[in-house]
Structure 1
Amino acid sequence: MRSLLEQPAMHNYMPDIFGKKVLEIGCGCGKNCRYFAENGAVKVLGTHMSGRMLKIAKRKSVGLPIEYRLLAPEKAAGLDEKFDVIYSSLVFHYVEHFDKFIAGLSSLLHKDGILLFSQKHPITTASLDRQPGWNYDERGKEISYTFSNYHQSGRRGSNWFIDDEVIYHRTVGEIVTALGQHGFYVEAADETRPSSTMIKQYPQLEKEMLKPAFLVIRARKI
């Protein structure tokens, strides 16, 4: 799902990174950091919470203008540096104190700098008392998606990547408001969906027309 919907959307909204300083929050094994460096970024800083992944990233990035640091997302937002681009893929739903986090990211960006991030769509993080899920017709085809507690922001349990991980739900409105209050202009908000061509190639994606899996936002520091 990520490779078919989220990553293509992120690539579509990618700003020009030639000659730019780029921060990636949640860099994993450094794939995107290497892409930035190989496409003209003058400096790339990748942060992640896993030392094991950063070890792999460093090994694969020898000779490139990339630095890696072991930092939680909230700590990365407190760096004492300036960047032209901040990129983060599927990390923001792990952040507890979102308003403070966005304020920190704003302080890291030069004027006209770009924040590009994705997260699980709030529809999929909303439910408190039961797991959200698909509803099926008599043939086993997905016909709708059930969720609840959308306007009750806060801590949630999830079994997305690992069992019993902790994520934080907030509404689309709360996300956009926080960006606006901390000096960002939202240039694009993409609630991912597959194209008709993709559905023909990957029929299992047809159900994703019923609800968005991811939210991708590109915002400019003004």
Structure 2
Amino acid sequence: MKQNKYDEASFFENYSLMPRSTGGLEAAGEWGTFRTLLPDLQGQRVLDLGCGFGWHCRYAREQGAVSVVGIDLSANMLERARAMTRDPKIEYLQLAIEDAAFGADEFDTVISSLAIHYVEDFASLCRQVYYCLKPGGAFVFSVEHPIFTALAAQDWHYSPEGGKQHWPVDNYHLEGPRQASFLDHEVTKYHRNAATYINTLIECGFSLTRISELQPTADMLENNAAWQEETRRPMFLLLSAVKN
């Protein structure tokens, strides 16, 4: 299933108002950790799967990447990305992640930010990424944490007074689609447990180099009280792997 919610006017309008849409990478809570998982991008050929407004594409060029290809299914996303980009070395393609089919060893680094949990067949994607990466190339991506995606409601259990008591987890090993509410719209996300993410990478020929569940630091907690919730349950899973 290839979703294109971002070309629905009301959904795209709501997304455009999010802090990460208006403030860029620094306004994305997971960016500080995601950045540490990236290799040195100097001289790299980079592919961004689900590039959105192109924030990561432009960052890669700022870090010295020689070329960047960003793909996204949404025409709205790419229109905004192109309007924000003045760089002939960045190419944007309207293409679903599932349809990404590039040449062997075409890229040095493949990245994806919070997009792969919308992809049904993770194994097929990993095989294609492995194929288009050069040996030793990096695959770095973030997804919503399996504890976060296990239940479609994706919400706390509340006390009668409205307090957040705990984050419910159920059907954790029942992998597959979840009909979740995001930006006041119903979207389909694909729940996979942590072992599936890790073992699929290994089975497709990658070596895992680092995993993060984005535990808030003392500085994060001091500067933004909202991070306190992230000490109670993880919202993000970030993985870095290299092609053997």
C-alpha deviation, 1:79, in angstroms: 1.9
**Which of these residues, 201, 218, 224, is aligned with residue 196 of structure 1?**
218
Q: Which amino acid aligns with 1:10?
A: F
1:142–1:207 contact (8 Å) kept in structure 2: no
Tell me the equivalent position of 1:79. Answer: 102
Q: Is structure 2 residue 131 aligned with structure 1 residue 107?
A: yes
Structure-to-structure mapping, 1:57-96, within 5 angstroms? 57-76=81-100, 78-80=101-103, 82-96=106-120
* CA offsets 1:61-118 (integer angstroms, 9 cap, x no match): 2234111100111112x22251000010001100101111111111111011000000
Identify unmatched segments of 5+ residues in structure 2: 1-18, 21-26
Q: Report the counterpart of residue 211 of structure 1 in structure 2.
A: 233
Instruction: Supply the RMSD in Å over aligned alpha carbons.
Output: 1.9
C-alpha distance in structure 2 between counterparts of 1:202 and 1:138, whole Å: 27
> How many residues were matched structurally?
219
Shift of 1:136: 4.7
TM-score, normalised with respect to structure 2: 0.84
Structure 2 counterpart SS, 1:5:
coil
Partner of 1:43: 67
Q: For residues 59 and 211 of structure 1, do their structure 2 counterparts lie closer, same or farther at Cα, with a shift above 3 Å needed?
A: same
Q: Which runs of 4+ in 1 moved over 6 A?
A: none
Aligned counterpart in structure 1 of residue 174 of structure 2, from 152, 156, 180: 152
* 2:44 matched residue in structure 1: 20
1:194/1:137 Cα in 2 relative to 1: closer, same or farther (>3 Å)?
farther
What is the match of residue 58 of structure 2? Answer: 34
Distance, in Å, in 1 between the alignment partners of 2:219 and 2:120 is: 37
> Is 1:166 matched with 2:169?
no
171-180 or 29-38: bigger deviation: 29-38
Q: Does the C-alpha gap of structure 1 residues 39 and 64 become closer, same or farther in structure 2, counting only changes over 3 Å?
A: farther
The Cα shift of 1:198 comes to 1.4
Preserved contact between residue 154 and residue 180 of structure 2 (Cα < 8 Å)? no
Q: Which amino acid aligns with 2:147?
A: I
SS of 2:156's partner is strand
Q: What percent identity do the matched residue pairs reach?
A: 33
Q: Distance in 2 between matches of 1:19 and 1:114?
A: 14
| 8 Å CA contact 1:134, 1:142 repeated in 2 | yes
Offset at 1:4?
Answer: 5.2
1:117 to 2:141 alignment = yes
C-alpha separation between the residues in 1 aligned to 2:166 and 2:145?
A: 16
For 1:135, the equivalent position in structure 2 comes to 157
* 1:182 counterpart residue number: 204
Q: Match for 1:59: what amino acid?
A: A
Question: How far, CA to CA, are the matches of 1:193 and 1:4 in structure 2?
Answer: 15
